[in-house]
């Protein structure tokens, strides 16, 4: 084959395992075999070609989780085009920025997001076509949207394009320290090596394994930790439109799920479900958590139900698997991110780029074939991040004499709340637009449910009468809700060094009870 991209995985699995189930649509939904997956992605690729989508074109996905979303990913890959998954929790202006920055020419969106899509594309003249995808309820009933009609216009025969491991296949937008998100350019080779790396987690994965994808597939975690690797080996992926702990437990019990990935807040909700003790979870051999440290109490609770518990560490830029804390180490080395995955090298460097001695703190730098190739349209940011053959993560870390790495802070001050990345400067720039905000510092503080939550500490202008709740709601109306502060506190001044540098560590200690940006 001349197609070495991840779209070819469907073709190969259709030949090897055509009758096996690739997807289950929701807890009790329809199934799609690998043979059907191959035919439908061929049809979709042909239909997109008829609408003018060519190699290198960007196709945006503003979608709820669904088998159709994965069909779009794979069809776009077969064309040598580039998928642009968009976080549907973003404000319309933020969605519009992603569409404009990526230069997307075609948009798939869920029927539930028609209003959001319309608002985001109102001034966008590059979008030449849109297709609506039905929700799971619509798919189970009389249908909805025009996805099936659009797909049926294409031929199910495979038209092979030359696609290499070096070709960019996905622009995954990640919040930027300058306040604007950046499109991380991920390649087909990144996804291939990420799938191989995923086989080294706990007892590995195989064609008879079944997983459930409930975290949003516009995120690299849900897409890359299990979903794509399972399709690489010919396993089965049950896709839930949205996460709900009892429905998730239904999925595990009814379909014999063997392995599952969730972010810590989701695992906590599962562990705290009133019905978990009555469920048959005997097939669920392993649980993987990622996106933030998982509370040790949650790990103990899940292990009590017979699951191997593994923690992974990764980033959008590493597609995402970078390190793993294996089941035998997850308690004894709690707080560590573990050791690098197979095709990954780690170094800890000082400000001058020299490797620091073991046990000392420096910036975590990584390299490997799963590392992205740069930020879309941002050569300066790319050159800053990829220096000397290493990706400079912006995380401060240390390594012990057994090779376990531990993050001690984030140079970028990122907050991870419920698995979502929030960069404080992005929120601060919005809040500075309020006429009664003189100074603002946004930080993450510990939260039992979400791991961290967003807090804003504000110095008001002289004579200001704005109250905390009004300011919080004002911010919430202008930015994605998960980024908006859950709490606003007022202060007479913000802690700074003698040279005026803001001391967020001190602020976290004062209002959050800890000076660490990363806490278990």
pLDDT in tens, 88-124: 999 999 999 999 999 999 999 999 999 999 999 998 8
HSE (side-chain half, CA atoms, 13 Å) at 228: 31
Q: Does 226 share its domain with 209?
A: yes
* pLDDT band at residue 19 under the 50/70/90 scheme: very high
The dihedral region occupied by 204, where left means phi > 0, alpha psi between -120 and 50, and beta the remainder, is left
Q: Which of 358, 381, 410 is the last residue of a domain?
A: 410
Backbone angles phi, psi at 85, to 5 degrees: -70, 135
Q: Does 496 share its domain with 396?
A: no
Is residue 254 a part of any domain in this protein?
yes
Q: Does 405 share its domain with 421?
A: no
Q: Which of 357, 377, 410 is the last residue of a domain?
A: 410
Cα–Cα distance between 417 and 266 in angstroms, integer? 11
Average pLDDT over residues 433-437: 92
Q: Does 359 share its domain with 435?
A: no
Is residue 194 a part of any domain in this protein?
yes
pLDDT of residue 294: 84
The reply to whether omega before 470 is within 30° of 0 (cis) is no
Is residue 325 a part of any domain in this protein?
no
* pLDDT band at residue 518 under the 50/70/90 scheme: very low
Domain extent for 255: 8-318
* pLDDT band at residue 512 under the 50/70/90 scheme: low
Is-contact 132 111, C-beta < 8 A?
Answer: yes
Is residue 479 a part of any domain in this protein?
yes
pLDDT of residue 369: 98
pLDDT of residue 183: 97
Q: Does 208 share its domain with 274?
A: yes
CATH at 369: 2.30.38.10
HSE (side-chain half, CA atoms, 13 Å) at 56: 1
Distance, CA of 57 to chain centre: 22
Average pLDDT over residues 217-237: 97
Question: Checking DSSP bridges between strand 106-110 and strand 31-33, what pairing results, if any?
Answer: unpaired
The number of distinct structural domains making up the chain is: 3
Which residue intervals of 199-330 are DSSP H helices?
Answer: 220-222, 228-233, 245-255, 264-271, 296-303
Is residue 332 a part of any domain in this protein?
no
Q: Does 457 share its domain with 369?
A: no
pLDDT of residue 520: 33
Eight-class DSSP state of 278: G
pLDDT of residue 323: 97
Cα–Cα distance between 455 and 450 in angstroms, integer? 13
Q: Does 392 share its domain with 279?
A: no
Residues 6+ apart with CB under 8 A from 489: 455, 456, 457, 458, 468, 511
Average pLDDT over residues 34-41: 98
Residues 6+ apart with CB under 8 A from 389: 367
Per-residue pLDDT of 450-500, as tens digits, reads 889 999 999 998 899 999 999 999 999 999 999 999 999 999 999 876 556
Closest CA to 107 of 89, 94, 125: 125
Q: Does 163 share its domain with 23?
A: yes
Per-residue pLDDT of 125-148, as tens digits, reads 899 999 999 999 999 887 789 999
Is residue 223 a part of any domain in this protein?
yes
Buried b (16+ CB within 10 A) or exposed e, 457-490: bbebeeebebeeeebbebbbebbbebbbbbebee
Neighbours of 252 (CB within 10 A): 24
* pLDDT band at residue 373 under the 50/70/90 scheme: very high
Burial of 80 (0-12, 13-18, 19+ CB in 10 A): buried
Q: Rg (Cα) of the chain, in Å, rounded?
A: 23
Cα–Cα distance between 46 and 156 in angstroms, integer? 8
Q: Does 250 share its domain with 368?
A: no
Q: Which residues pair with 339 in a beta bridge?
A: 324
* Between residues 255 and 498, the one the model is more confident about: 255
Per-residue pLDDT of 303-356, as tens digits, reads 999 999 999 999 999 999 999 999 999 989 988 999 999 999 999 999 888 999
Is residue 328 a part of any domain in this protein?
no
Task: Report residue 297 as tokens.
Answer: 């109490």
Q: Does 228 share its domain with 358?
A: no
CATH at 289: 3.40.50.12780
* Between residues 508 and 258, the one the model is more confident about: 258
Cα–Cα distance between 25 and 324 in angstroms, integer? 29
pLDDT of residue 123: 87
pLDDT of residue 516: 54
Average pLDDT over residues 230-251: 97
pLDDT of residue 501: 64
* Helix, strand or coil, per DSSP, at residue 338: strand
Q: Which of 318, 352, 384 is the last residue of a domain?
A: 318
CATH at 487: 3.30.300.30
Is residue 335 a part of any domain in this protein?
no
pLDDT of residue 177: 47
Angle at 289 between CA 282 and CA 391, to 5 degrees: 145
Closest CA to 221 of 353, 322, 152: 322
pLDDT of residue 28: 85
Q: Does 400 share its domain with 309?
A: no
Q: Which residues pair with 107 in a beta bridge?
A: 60, 130
- Mean pLDDT of all residues belonging to the chain: 92
Q: Does 257 share its domain with 403?
A: no
């Amino acid at each position: 084959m001349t197609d070495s991209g991840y779209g070819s995985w469907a073709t190969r699995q259709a030949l090897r395992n055509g009758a096996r189930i690739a997807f289950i649509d929701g807890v009790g939904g329809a199934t799609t075999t690998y043979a059907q997956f191959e035919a439908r992605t061929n049809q979709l690729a042909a239909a997109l070609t008829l609408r003018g989508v060519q190699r290198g074109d960007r196709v945006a996905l503003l979608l709820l989780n669904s088998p159709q979303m994965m069909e779009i990913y794979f069809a776009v890959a077969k064309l040598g085009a580039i998928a642009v998954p968009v976080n549907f929790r973003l404000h319309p202006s933020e969605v519009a920025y992603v569409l404009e920055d990526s230069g997307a020419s075609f948009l798939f969106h869920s029927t539930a997001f028609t209003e959001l899509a319309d608002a985001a594309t109102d001034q966008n003249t590059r979008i030449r076509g849109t297709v609506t995808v039905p929700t799971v309820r619509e798919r189970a009933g009389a249908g909805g949207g025009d996805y099936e009609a659009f797909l049926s216009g294409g031929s199910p025969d495979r038209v092979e394009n030359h696609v290499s491991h070096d070709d960019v296949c996905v622009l995954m937008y990640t919040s930027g320290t300058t306040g604007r998100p950046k499109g991380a350019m991920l390649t087909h080779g990144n996804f291939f090596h990420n799938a191989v790396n995923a086989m080294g987690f706990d007892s590995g994965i195989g064609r008879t394994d079944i997983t459930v994808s409930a975290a949003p597939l516009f995120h690299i975690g849900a897409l890359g930790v299990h979903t794509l690797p399972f399709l690489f080996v010919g396993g089965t992926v049950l896709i839930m439109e949205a996460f709900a702990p009892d429905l998730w437990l239904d999925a595990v019990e009814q379909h014999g799920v063997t392995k599952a990935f969730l972010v810590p807040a989701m695992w906590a909700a599962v562990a705290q479900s009133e019905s978990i003790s009555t469920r048959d979870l005997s097939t669920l051999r392993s649980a993987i958590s990622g996106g933030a440290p998982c509370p040790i109490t949650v790990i103990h609770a899940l292990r009590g139900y017979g699951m191997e518990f593994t923690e992974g560490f990764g980033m959008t830029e590493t597609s995402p698997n970078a390190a793993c804390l294996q089941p035998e180490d997850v308690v004894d080395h709690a707080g560590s991110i573990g050791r690098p995955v197979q095709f990954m090298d780690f170094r800890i460097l000082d400000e001058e780029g020299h490797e620091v001695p073991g046990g000392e703190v420096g910036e975590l730098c990584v390299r490997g074939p799963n590392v992205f190739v740069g930020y879309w349209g941002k050569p300066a940011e790319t050159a800053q991040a990829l220096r000397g053959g290493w990706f400079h993560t912006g995380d401060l870390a240390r390594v012990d004499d057994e090779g376990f790495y531990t993050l001690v802070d984030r140079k970028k001050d990122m907050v991870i709340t419920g698995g979502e990345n929030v960069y404080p400067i992005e929120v601060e720039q919005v809040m500075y637009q309020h006429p009664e905000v003189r100074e603002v510092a946004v930080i993450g503080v510990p939260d039992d449910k979400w791991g961290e939550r967003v807090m804003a500490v504000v110095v008001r202008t002289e004579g200001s009468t704005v109250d905390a709740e009004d300011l919080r709601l004002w911010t919430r109306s202008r930015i994605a809700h998960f980024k908006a502060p859950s709490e606003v506190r007022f202060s007479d001044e913000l802690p700074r060094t003698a040279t005026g540098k803001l001391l967020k560590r001190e602020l976290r200690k004062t209002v959050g009870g800890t000076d660490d940006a990363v806490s278990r």
